[in-house]
Structure 1
Amino acid sequence: MKNKPSDLTNHLFVQMERLGVEGLPAEQIDNEVMRTEAIVSVSDQIIGNAHLQLKASKLFADHGAAVVPHLPMIGSATR
């Protein structure tokens, strides 16, 4: 995997710095706001996916392989 959770954190902080630049023209501020909204939207999806993976890991850790038949198969229409 090319990207790590720490990369997401770095991207978010870089964007915060871009938003904090003093004296930007209104058009550039609007562009940065749109960029920020896109970054936040993608970030929310990444974080949601990581949360789901964590929940699945915890379920497996708590109950072992017995839970596998009750989970949907990713990438497959059949079990």
Structure 2
Amino acid sequence: MARQKELADLSLTDLREQLGETKQELFNLRFQNVTGQLDNYSRIAQVKKQVARLLTELRAREIAAAEALENQETV
């Protein structure tokens, strides 16, 4: 599980790829939960938090890019 500093070092492509993999894992965990096959229920919360971390990092980069573009246009 990657922390914020580790996520900041990843490229945008890697972040999106990891987000897709994490969402797929969350889907699989939820499916296992419904079918009664899930052993570790806390894993769902962990994966949800990881999805939130990834989305937060992606959004922070979007905002930084927009601010850079705005500053570039005003100069």
Shorter chain as normaliser: what TM range? Answer: 0.5 to 0.7
User: Which residue is 1:56 aligned to?
Assistant: 71
Number of aligned residue pairs: give it.
Answer: 59
Task: Name the SS for the 2:51 alignment partner.
Answer: helix
User: Residue 45 of structure 1: CA displacement?
Assistant: 0.9
Aligned-pair Cα RMSD in Å: 2.2
* Cα distance, 1:56–1:3 mapped onto 2, change above 3 Å: farther
Structure 1 residues 7-55: Cα deviation after superposition (integer angstroms, max 9, x where no partner) = 2221221111111113143211111112222222222112211222233
* Cα distance, 1:54–1:39 mapped onto 2, change above 3 Å: same
Please, what TM-score do these two structures have when normalized by structure 2? 0.57
User: Which residue is 1:13 aligned to?
Assistant: 20
Q: Which has the larger radius of gyration?
A: 1
Determine which structure has the larger helix proportion and give its number: 2
Stretches of structure 2 that go unaligned for 5 or more consecutive residues are 1-8, 33-37
* Cα distance, 1:3–1:56 mapped onto 2, change above 3 Å: farther
User: Which residue is 1:42 aligned to?
Assistant: 57
User: Which residue is 1:33 aligned to?
Assistant: 48
Identity %: 15
